[in-house]
Amino acid sequence: MGCREAMQLKDIRALVAADLAAVDVEIRRQLASDVLLVNQVGDYIVGGGGKRLRPLLVVLAARAADIRDSAHIPAATLIEFIHTATLLHDDVVDDSARRRGRETANQAFGNPASVLVGDFLYSRAFQMMAALDSAALIRVMADATNTIAAGEVLQLMNSGDPDTTEIRYLEVIYRKTARLFEAGAQIAAIVARAPPDVEAALTRYGKHLGIAFQLVDDALDYRGDDESLGKNVGDDLAEGKPTLPLIHALQHSDADDASMIRNAIEQGGTEEQGPIRAVVESTGGLDYTARLAASEIERALEALAGVPASAHRDALEALARFAISRSS
């Protein structure tokens, strides 16, 4: 597909640098409030950095769909707001202490502030949708946010349950993570007024990219390190979350190791982190997860065949390859 093999994340960002700068301005503009605490928490989470892959996806997809105006800037911003709102709420539910290498907002400002500012971000995102005045976009995002909320509930139901199946796990990561990637790519096509076949191709791309991204994220919880991840490695296990590496290990371990894993899922905590990580590695849980992620990326790349050739389509391909090669 003509993708530059050496294209790195910095190169992808450079291609749409002006768009990303405009998104940063729009984020700060839309975060502004006459309520002091909203501004304080907003400044804190914006200052926390992060890769901002979702707004990057939106602007790249819009450019690949040959957008002729600037509607992709608020579209990318509202996607980032919804993502940030879910993180604020997640950190409260999970009682997380670190994200992006520093204290989570709930640690810095308390749970009530995090929940309420998350609500502010959700509602601001819907104000921005209304301003874009696209019934199709509003329909996509209303469905997506409902799916994401349901995914959070499904994950809560799976937590502490060692009988969680791979199918249940995959349903959670589609709803909780991939659905927003999928929606971001789709609304980029909508605001660009792309033909239906291009919109469908970008939508498929976003879905499979999002699934792969979360699979890699869940593997890094067992293979990464605190410094590069910006959070505590092993958080998923400590919270009793049966992600795919652990589900695979449980299915392929001996009775003693299986009992240890089941107990860790049911009880949470960090007491058996080292031995369980060793079992996940020895049973091929990480390799299995990596193979599934690679398969999803191939499906994402196949979808891009339905998008007209351009430098921005090449960048979408490079973004997909980055998603499975990253170490943080």
Into which CATH architecture does domain 9-325 fall?
A: Orthogonal Bundle (1.10)
Mean pLDDT, rounded, for 18-23: 97
Question: What are the tokens at 278?
Answer: 């060793």
In the DSSP assignment, the letter for residue 305 is G
Question: Is residue 139 scored above 90 in pLDDT?
Answer: yes
Residue 98 makes CB contacts below 8 A (sequence gap 6+) with: 104, 226, 230, 231, 232
Residues 216 and 288: their CA atoms lie apart, in Å, by 11
Residue 42: the pLDDT is: 82
Residue with tokens 């398969």: 295
In angstroms, how far is CA 328 from the centroid of its own chain? 13
Q: For all residues of the chain together, what is the average pLDDT?
A: 91
Q: How many helices (H) and strands (E) does the chain have?
A: 18, 2
Question: Is residue 177 scored above 80 in pLDDT?
Answer: yes
Contact status, residue 268 vs residue 160, Cβ threshold 8 Å: yes
214 closest CA partner among 251, 252, 241: 241
Question: Is residue 275 scored above 70 in pLDDT?
Answer: yes
For 118-133, write each residue's pLDDT tens digit: 999 999 999 999 999 9
Alpha helices in 224-310 (DSSP H): 226-229, 235-238, 244-252, 255-267, 273-282, 285-303
Residue 1: the pLDDT is: 44
Question: Is residue 186 scored above 70 in pLDDT?
Answer: yes
**Which residues on neighbouring strands pair with residue 102, listed in sequence order?**
99
Contact status, residue 191 vs residue 204, Cβ threshold 8 Å: no
53 closest CA partner among 84, 93, 98: 84
Contact status, residue 148 vs residue 173, Cβ threshold 8 Å: no
Confidence of residue 100 (pLDDT cuts 50, 70, 90): low
Mean pLDDT, rounded, for 304-327: 94
121 closest CA partner among 156, 155, 90: 90
The least confident of 41-45, 47-51, 64-68, 164-168 is 47-51
Higher pLDDT, 29 or 98: 29
Residues 101 and 224: their CA atoms lie apart, in Å, by 14
Question: What are the tokens at 130?
Answer: 């209304």
Confidence of residue 4 (pLDDT cuts 50, 70, 90): very low
In angstroms, how far is CA 212 from the centroid of its own chain? 10
Question: What are the tokens at 304?
Answer: 């891009």
CA dihedral of residues 104, 110, 112, 116 (deg, nearest 10): -40
For 188-244, write each residue's pLDDT tens digit: 999 999 999 999 999 999 999 999 999 999 999 887 655 545 555 678 888 888 999
Mean pLDDT, rounded, for 262-283: 87
Residue 3: the pLDDT is: 45
Residue 2: the pLDDT is: 43
Query: Which 3 state secondary structure label does DSSP give 97?
Result: coil
